[in-house]
Amino acid sequence: MARIEFEKKVLSENDRLAAAIRKDLSERKIFCINLVSSPGSGKTSLLERSLGVLGKEMALGLIAGDVQTENDADRLKAAGGTMVRPIVTGGACHLDARMVTDALKDMPLERLDLLFIENVGNLVCPSSYDLGEDMKVVVISTTEGDDKPLKYPGMFRRSSLMIVNKIDLLGHSEFQLARVKENARTINGDLETIELSCRTGEGTRRWYDWLRQRVSQKRV
Amino acid sequence: MHELRIAENIVSSVQEEMRRRGSSRLRVIGLRIGELTDIVPESLEFGFNILIADTELAGARLEIERVPVQGHCRDCDCEFEVRDLQFLCPNCGGRSIKTICGQELDICFLEIEESIKGEGKTTEVWPG
């Protein structure tokens, strides 16, 4: 019996592809966000609204991942997205860098300013897979438990911004804004927070400004 | 849920390495998995055993070392073990903590029986 050293990252192939995506997007000065959340937190609604406002001032690309159906991609196209690419994972609970590489092949990257990757609704599995994004943005909504950051620390640690959606429903559930922020701060003291409602539009301006700022920083 | 996919990655990496070495018999795959990786070791072993059942790796097992989370405080430069997911510097109370380890998902060693080329025999390099 021999014990041999064999050092290899299990996801090294994914990491290699993600690094290639990151390099390509950086050279083209495209700011890229990997949007993650539980199912039903409002990722697609957030993107629909963002398309309507930001789509007028910059070129947005969207990759919409779903386990089954292209419903989200269809919604985003209906909201005015001209550069929307669906990824149907066929059962896989996350997107990986191979899927994103393939989706980017027929995306007109030379025209893009901002690329959104809408991950599969899941706060566990997507956290292991680097997609070559600049930042992960995690969406949580007021109809969920405010202890989600504690339950899914891997994802909240890796995210740069937490969006708290559905603030128009605050008070209709046990969810407390102060508590979710404190829980998030315990896990990740550097996590920024933006509260908004995709339904009423309240708070969305801060989100657009946050994006505009990052897109212009990336251009420099 | 994604442990099966992770197990597939492990199996294919190890199969490739076994072929490269001309080894036939695998006993153990050593893994290092950080506490922050959202990987459930039991699920990983379950998926692994299903995948290898009818392959040349059948009978091999995983030896998993869990790596505790270590943080580095950006404010005072101190390093500490993060317990109970409290990313709070014990020295200065800082909240801006860089993860130094705890996110590993690595293969680190293999235990194999090495066959000598041309003789089709297996040599015991280490006893046991």
SS3 state of residue B91: coil
Interchain pair A6, B17: CB under 8 A: yes
Residues of chain B in contact with residue A6, where contact means CB-CB under 8 angstroms, are 14, 17, 107-110
Q: Is the pLDDT of residue B121 over 50?
A: no
- How far away is chain B from the Cα of A155, in angstroms, using its nearest Cα? 9
Position A92 scores a pLDDT of: 85
- How far away is chain B from the Cα of A131, in angstroms, using its nearest Cα? 16
Q: Is the pLDDT of residue B119 over 70?
A: no
* Average pLDDT value for residue range B10-16: 95
Which pairing describes strands B97-101 and B70-73: parallel, antiparallel, or unpaired? antiparallel
Position B1 scores a pLDDT of: 64
* Tokens found for residue A177: 């804004």
Please state, rounded to an integer, the average pLDDT across all residues of chain B. 89
Interchain pair B99, A93: CB under 8 A: no
How many alpha carbons fall within 13 Å on the CB side of residue B17?
23
Q: How confident is the model at residue B49 (pLDDT cuts 50, 70, 90)?
A: very high
ipTM for the complex shown:
0.85
Rg of chain B over Cα atoms, rounded to whole angstroms, equals 19
Query: Which of B27, B37, B109 lies at the smallest CB-CB distance from A5?
Result: B109
Position B126 scores a pLDDT of: 53
Report H helices in A133-176: 148-151, 153-158
Position B117 scores a pLDDT of: 53
Position B28 scores a pLDDT of: 97
Which residue out of B85, B108, B113, B114 would a mutagenesis test of the A interface target, given it has the greatest number of A Cβ atoms within 10 Å? B85
A79 with A51: CB under 8 angstroms?
yes
* Average pLDDT value for residue range B85-96: 95
Alpha-carbon gap, residue B17 to B14, rounded angstroms? 5
Alpha-carbon gap, residue A58 to A82, rounded angstroms? 12
- Mean pLDDT in consecutive groups of 10 residues from the start of chain A, 220 residues: 92 97 98 97 96 95 93 90 90 93 94 96 94 98 97 96 98 97 96 98 98 96
Amino acid at A184: A
- Strands annotated E in B1-125: 25-34, 61-67, 70-73, 79-81, 97-101, 105-116, 121-123
A175 with A146: CB under 8 angstroms?
yes
Q: Is B124 on the interface with A (CB under 8 A)?
A: yes
* Tokens found for residue A200: 């009423």
Q: Is the pLDDT of residue B122 over 50?
A: no
SS3 state of residue B98: strand
A211 with A50: CB under 8 angstroms?
yes
How much is the pTM? 0.91
* Average pLDDT value for residue range B26-50: 95
Stated as kind and residue range, the H or E segment containing A141 is strand A135-141
Residues of chain A in contact with residue B105, where contact means CB-CB under 8 angstroms, are 9-11, 128
- How far away is chain A from the Cα of B110, in angstroms, using its nearest Cα? 5
Position B120 scores a pLDDT of: 44
Position B116 scores a pLDDT of: 56
Q: Is A181 on the interface with B (CB under 8 A)?
A: no
Q: Is A67 on the interface with B (CB under 8 A)?
A: no
CB pairs A-B closer than 8 Å: 103
Q: How confident is the model at residue B2 (pLDDT cuts 50, 70, 90)?
A: confident
Which pairing describes strands B105-116 and A2-9: parallel, antiparallel, or unpaired? antiparallel
Position A79 scores a pLDDT of: 87
Alpha-carbon gap, residue A211 to A206, rounded angstroms? 9
The larger pLDDT score, comparing residue A206 to residue B114, is at: A206
